[in-house]
Amino acid sequence: MSCKTGNSYITKKGDTLSSIAQQQLHSSDRWHEILKPDGTPFREEDAHNLQVGQEICIPHSGNRNTGGSTGDGFANIVSHQAYKTMFPNHNDFYTYESLITAVKKYPHFCNEGSLQQRKREAAAFLANISHETGGLHYIQEQNPQSHYCDATNTTYPCVAGKSYHGRGPIQLSWNYNYGACGKAIGKDLLNHPELVSTNNVISFTTALWFWMTPQPPKASCHKAISTSGFGMTINIINGGIECGKGPQTPQAEHRIQLYKHFTEVLNVTPGDNLSC
């Protein structure tokens, strides 16, 4: 084993840096603390592109670089009252308390950069999940047209009788996303996808997993909101349908209007590059 620092780990089939970080470091957004044997960091585009049998180096227990993150950033930005203002008719399933519990699993969420950047990230996340769920009203996709099973994906094969239609705040869809997310958060969502629509903490956790995890070849929404603007978060979430169609699509425009409203509630300017 050749790690200059940390504990050696040999990657297995299905491993990603995010899933390994969740298993070994208890937070998938700590993947950037994992190093190559020569001590150099991985690039963001490497996060989902590991080779089976590759050696990587996990930080020693307690050797954590949190940058001052405690997981309280979001709660300090979005109060319970602000949440009720943003989602006056939210489904009882989507409680503020369950969101705050889920956020604690991702301590870098709304906890990096300036206060302005942190507020924009909170507004961007909430605007996108509001659009996906009709103001946090719908728990799962209405009248899904299929079971969203990609039979060609052998890493996370579909389970007979299970449907991987959109569920939760980000409308998690497809067997490969349920599998990857479940592995990262420590829940068997491939065999039990219904957990996303029956357990509100798990439900919010899936949305945060998607937000914080790079979506190769695209960055994570967490990174995009601070480096590229709100428009890139739309592109990452649903760019194939809502972006690059010439005039602004109605769906993208709705997300933008929600974002502008939520930035007003949080007393921050929306910044540049709102369109995708």
Q: So what's the pLDDT on residue 68?
A: 39
pLDDT per residue, tens digit, the chain (276 aa), is 578 778 888 888 888 887 888 788 777 767 878 888 888 887 766 666 788 889 899 887 544 433 334 446 899 999 999 999 999 999 999 999 999 999 999 989 999 888 999 999 999 999 999 999 999 999 999 999 899 999 999 999 999 999 999 999 999 999 999 999 999 999 999 999 999 999 999 999 999 999 999 988 899 999 999 999 999 999 999 999 999 888 889 999 999 999 999 999 999 999 999 999
For residues 181 and 172, the answer to whether their CB atoms sit within 8 Å is yes
CA distance 114 to 121: 11
Superfamily classification of domain 143-196: Endochitinase, domain 2 (3.30.20.10)
Locate tokens 């890139």: which residue?
232
The architecture CATH gives domain 73-138+214-265: Orthogonal Bundle (1.10)
Q: So what's the pLDDT on residue 135?
A: 98
Q: So what's the pLDDT on residue 49?
A: 73
CA distance 8 to 6: 7
Contacts of 250 (CB under 8 A, 6+ apart): none
Contacts of 222 (CB under 8 A, 6+ apart): 29, 108, 109, 121, 211, 212
Q: So what's the pLDDT on residue 153?
A: 96
Q: What is the DSSP string of 206-225?
A: HHHHHHHS-BTTB--HHHHH
Q: CB count, 10 Å around CB of 29?
A: 25
**Among 18, 46, 248, 146, residue whose Cα is nearest residue 234:** 248
Q: CB count, 10 Å around CB of 259?
A: 27
Q: So what's the pLDDT on residue 81?
A: 93
For the chain, domain boundaries: 7-58, 73-138+214-265, 143-196
Which CATH code is given to the segment(s) 7-58?
A: 3.10.350
For 189-226, letters b (16+ CB in 10 Å) and e give: bbebbebbbebbbbbbbbbbbbbbbbbeebbbbbbbbb
Tokens of 257: 């209007």
CA distance 26 to 147: 31
Q: So what's the pLDDT on residue 47?
A: 65
**Among 119, 115, 109, residue whose Cα is nearest residue 71:** 109
Active-site residue list = 132
Segment (H or E) for 9: strand 7-10
